[in-house]
A and B are shown apart, each in its own frame.
Chain A
Amino acid sequence: MTQIVDIMLLTLLACTAMVVLRMRSLWAAVMLTGIYSFLGAGWMLILDAPDVAFTEAAVGAGIATVLMLSTLALTGTEMKPPQAVSWIPLLVVTITGGALVYGTLDMPPYGDPGNPVHLHLAPEYIGDSVRNLEGQPTKVGIQNIVTSVLASYRGYDTLGETVVIFTAGVGVLILMRKPESREAGDDTQ
């Protein structure tokens, strides 16, 4: 049963990607990338990664689509037809894709508890999150292991990510903000 859902989702992903490639209207292409992100979120959910699916649905399908649309409102919604077929990019993409597919052949089987990733740090994370026999939480004691890894074990990384978002916001602010004098009067959309 899950295999049918897997195949359907992957087929839809491939179809959406192909349609986006052939689309000349950028408006429709942006909408389809939103759909692509949403299908990707469904795919993450099938892989038992609800936190990632959540992020993909909110950022990829929501915010990114809105930002792309507001960019299109500033630039234009039609793409110029390509002048000639460019062979070198096609070659590069084909070779890279082939290498990636070749790389998957060496990956450990999906969901196998004996995989290296499940034997290295994961037992410690799980052990720190569950309660012990007296009902006392052990080290971290937070049921959502993803949250405890993100915010506690990998606190430095999350701090770095927050600073990256902060920097991105400041960068956009510096580049795009209108001069103060015009701010008050007009705000055409």
Chain B
Amino acid sequence: MKLHSILRVVSKLLIPYILLFALYVQFHGDYGPGGGFQAGVIFAAGIILYAMVFGLRAARSVAPPKAVETLIALGVLIFLGTGLVTMLMGGNFLDYSALDHHNPSHGQHLGILIVELGVGITVAAVMVLIFFAFAGRERAR
């Protein structure tokens, strides 16, 4: 990959903005289009672009497979944990209004933010991991 200098320079310029845009979509999902799922996919796309231009070994050191595997489960745990916390605070499962008894809509905001973060983490980690799994295999024949 020493030859594609244009690709490498352009990707180096673009990748930070792709990741930043993913975070914007993640945390701005309450107000604009987007949410955890889209943000996770965009974040994964940034890492996949890095892997395609700079090689799988470099990408594996940026996103170590062990850490990515942990993140897959972490996202689901955040989602489920939010549901359990709302139950502990006296509401139903995933009833975010229970998170803030004085102002239920604040509780809703908080709950949706956390839950979307869980979705984003799981989606991004799964996409990166699937790409690693496909790209890491040698040609069958």
A residues engaging B (CB < 8 A)?
50-51, 53-55, 58-59, 62-63, 66-67, 70-71, 73-75, 136-144, 146-148, 150-152, 155-156, 158-159, 161-163, 165-166, 168-170, 172-173, 175-178, 183, 187-189
A172 to B128, CA, bound (A): 11
Q: Which of the residues A54, A178, A187, A188 comes within 8 Å of B38, measured between beta carbons?
A: A54
Chain B, residue nearest A170 (CB): B72
A69 to B94, CA, bound (A): 39
Cβ-defined contact, A162 with B79, below 8 A: yes
**Closest Cβ–Cβ distance, residue A182 to chain B (whole Å):** 10
Query: How many Cβ-Cβ contacts under 8 Å join chain A to chain B?
Result: 153
* Interface size bracket, B side: 35 or more
Cβ-defined contact, B34 with A54, below 8 A: yes
- Report chain B residues within 8 Å CB of A162: 75-76, 79, 118-119, 122-123
Among B118, B131, B137: residue with most chain A CB under 10 A: B137
Cβ-defined contact, A166 with B72, below 8 A: yes
A58 to B18, CA, bound (A): 12
Q: Which 5 A-B pairs have the closest CB atoms?
A: A169-B126, A50-B33, A176-B133, A155-B94, A141-B105
Chain B, residue nearest A53 (CB): B33
A172 to B109, CA, bound (A): 34
A150 to B38, CA, bound (A): 13
- Report chain A residues within 8 Å CB of B104: 139
- Report chain B residues within 8 Å CB of A53: 33
A144 to B33, CA, bound (A): 7
A/B interface sample: 8 pairs, CB < 8 A: A62-B41, A139-B105, A140-B108, A143-B30, A162-B75, A177-B133, A187-B56, A187-B60
A141 to B112, CA, bound (A): 11
Cβ-defined contact, B45 with A58, below 8 A: yes
Cβ-defined contact, B72 with A169, below 8 A: yes
- Report chain A residues within 8 Å CB of B83: 155, 159
Question: Among residues 89 to 120 in chain B, which have CB atoms less than 8 Å away from a CB atom of chain A?
Answer: 93-94, 96-97, 104-105, 108-109, 111-112, 115-116, 118-119
**What per-residue 1/0 map shows which CB atoms of B37-49 lie under 8 Å from chain A?**
1100110110010
Cβ-defined contact, B29 with A55, below 8 A: no
**Closest Cβ–Cβ distance, residue B130 to chain A (whole Å):** 5
**What per-residue 1/0 map shows which CB atoms of B73-92 lie under 8 Å from chain A?**
10110011001000000000
